[in-house]
Structures are given as structure tokens and as C-alpha cells.
Amino acid sequence: MRVLVIGSGAREHALVLALRRDPAVSAIVAAPGNAGIAQHAQVRPVDPSSGESVAALAREAAADLVVIGPEVPLVLGVADAVRAAGIACFGPSAAAARIEGSKAFAKDVMAAAGVRTAHSEIVDTPAELDAALDRFGPTWVVKDDGLAAGKGVVVTPDRSDARGHAAELLEQGHPVLLESFLDGPEVSLFCLVDGETVVPLLPAQDHKRVGDGDTGPNTGGMGAYTPLPWLPGSAVEQIVDEVVAPVAAELVRRGDSFSGLLYAGLAMGEAGPAVVEFNCRFGDPETQAVLSLLESPLGELLYATATGTLADVPAPRWRGGSAVTVVLAAEYYPARPRSGDVITGAGDAATDDAATVLHAGTALRADGALISAGGRVLSIVGTGADLVAAREAAYDRLAGIKLTGGHYRSDIGLAAVEGRIGL
């Protein structure tokens, strides 16, 4: 099977490495890729948001399967264009991708499916803002009602901070979503979904704030770990039964059947799981950890999802133990990340050692030096017999990597190790 992977982040690097472990995958092309992905796949330029260009590249590469990593192409209908060209595609249609692209659509689907989620209101004009803010709090959740890569979200006990963020979004012409705050530890559950067939992967937890102890602004994600030692064994089945399966069924009922990866971001409150957000693709940085523990052939799972035969393939098998992703970010990320700094010690990612270095915002300078080229620069994935060992593997590997101004959280998975998180 020949596979074309669309995207350029550490998530796509993880997808490429997992696909390489599948004996049925004979060739991988990645577009546009990055300096690390280029070590493991043929890399080609493409405008990932152009369905026409992606479909043309897929034909040229004789791809049997196209895997679309990021949300923007999916929301823009790139998967539809690939399927229209007669090529199997892992990723939902534009209509189904609204589950991430339009928070209002997602809320409507959840209401119809009877799925627990935060109470919310959309604010379109500054004149409505103060009265709407008065109906929420004391913790305010303010979101950009569109795609903002996690950075459009502010969660704050300070009303004036909430007001400031909402006013800024409205000034930029973006409708604002106000939500009630959901209590409980967060879980990311990725499910392969093909119509009404739902196959969960390992549950993971993201760390969205930039600083240790969940301080500072939200980011695209600074680290993750899997599985979650504090989550009861029955929780995944409960999330599938109460959240993902009803939403998948509701999308089928509407004629917007989902095919691809449905990512449920949940708060595990006293009343059970409640949805913080849905995403229409693999999450970053959780994917890097989750796929490092996958034993089953990834190509087979993605191809089956894309061709409507997910129910016929064996359930995913997992290595025992734990995995931790730690993100190394550029100076001034997330506000104004600086590019062009030299990275040393990243080495070759193609190892099966306890730690793997995955590239995101990297590029090669004309003289061959590896330099930063984005906010989240590298994902270091450590694996081990348990979370303590996986953390140690990731942080030991990170200690050998140098990036001027680079920063990372030192507490990924630590609350779970220290028993400070639970239901």
C-alpha cells in the first residue's frame, strides 16, 4: 500500500513512523512534511488546503490511501476532493468536519444526541458582550467560534481578562463562544469512526497551558501522556457509549456520516464525561504518545476506516507500559515564537530506543544546520514500563537537545505520578 500523509507537524511525523512499522505499507510520501519527516519519507511540496493540489499529488504518487493530519484541509473539503478522485482518504468530509470547524454545529449535534457538554452562548457583537458575561462565571471560558489551534481559548477567573479576550476576538470579526466551566480532569479519547462503527484508541491527557503547574496562556499543547493510570478501566467504554457512539449515530442520521478520527476532549466530572470539544483529526501532542504504543499495523486500521470496513479488522493491540510526549517550544511561544535558532542534539528520529525525537517546526538551513521554524519545534516521546520510566526517558533525551530560548514543561504526567489527579 502506498500512502500520502498530508501535514507538517510532529503528529504527522508520528503517523509516518507508525505507518513505516506496517509491513503492508510499501511507500510513504509526506507533503509538505518537515526536516525530520524527510528522514523517513519522500517529502513533496503541496498546498495542504487545496483539494485539487492534494488530489493531483495523490494521483502522481499513485497513493492507495491519503491520510490528512490537520483540521484546516478537512474543514475546507480536501478529503472530499481526494475521494472524488477515486482515492481512499482517511479524514472526514467538510460536512462532518464541522464537528470541529463550527462550535455551533457541534453543540447542535450534541444536543440532538443527548450528550453532556457545557452550556454555551454565541456572542456576535460587542453590544451583547457584558450581559452575556454576567450570565457566566466565576470561571469564564471564552473561545473563538472557529479554528484557532487551541490558542483562541481563554479560561480565567478574572472577568476583565475574559472581557478583554472576547472583545479582541470580536474586533477581529470572530464570533465568540462563552461556555460554562466543566469540572474534572481532562481526557482526550481518539476514536476511529466509520459511520456508526467506533473503535477507541488509548486515552491520553494533554497539557494545554504553557507553564508548569498549568500556568500561563493556552497553547496548541505542551505535552501528553498515555494511558491514564487514574482513569477507571470502564471509562473508555462509558465515553464511547455515552458520547462518541451517539454523536457518530447522529451524524449518520443527518447524512453527514463521519469517516476518520473523532477526537473527544472531555472533562471527567462527578456526573460522568462531558464534552469540552470535538476535533475531526488526531490530536497533537497526544498522537505522538499514543501511536508509540500501537502494535497493530496502522495502515490497515486507517485504510479500513477510509473504506468503510473498520468493523472487519481486529481491534488495535497495544504494547504494555506508558508513553510521554514533551514538546520543546521556541522562544516566545505561544505569543510570537521566534524562528531561525539552531537546534543541536536532535539526532536521527528513526530509533526504537526508549525515546524518539519527532519534528514539528523545523527546517534545514542552506548550510545544513537544523533550525527552528515554528512555535512547537520538537516532540520528544519517551516510553517505559510505567509513567515514571517514560517521563525519565523523555526528559533524559530532551536534556541532550539545545535550542536557544527553547522552553518546555517539566511536569508532563507528574500529577498522575504523584497521585494528585483522579476521579
Residues that bind ligand GLY (CB under 6 A): 150, 206, 221, 279, 283-284, 286
Smallest distance, ligand GLY to C-beta of residue 141, A: 15
User: Which residue lies nearer to ligand GLY by CB, 283 or 413?
Assistant: 283
- To ligand GLY, the closest distance from the beta carbon of 261 in angstroms equals 11
- Our CB check for ligand GLY shows the closer of 279 and 372 to be 279
Nearer to ligand GLY, 221 or 384 (CB): 221
DSSP 132-178: HHHTS-SSEEEEESS--TTTT-EEES-HHHHHHHHHHHHHTT--EEE
Nearer to ligand GLY, 275 or 370 (CB): 275
Whether the bond between 314 and the residue before it is cis, its omega within 30 degrees of 0, is no
Nearer residue to ligand GLY within complex by CB, 51 or 152: 152
Task: For residue 371, count other CB atoms closer than 10 A to its CB.
Answer: 18
Report the distance separating Cα 209 and Cα 409, nearest Å. 9
Tell me the residue number closest to ligand GLY, measured at CB. 283
Instruction: For ligand GLY, give the closer residue by CB, 133 or 201.
Output: 201
How near is the Cβ of 264 to ligand GLY at its closest, in Å? 12
Residue from 219, 127, 208, 141 nearest 181 by CA: 141
Distance in Å from the first CA to the final CA of the chain: 43
The count of other CB atoms within 10 Å of the CB of residue 55 is 22
Work out the widest C-alpha separation in the chain, in whole angstroms: 59
Minimum Å gap between C-beta 340 and ligand GLY is 26
Q: Which H or E run contains 75? A: helix 71-75
Helical ranges in 146-297 per DSSP H: 159-171, 235-239, 245-253, 286-292
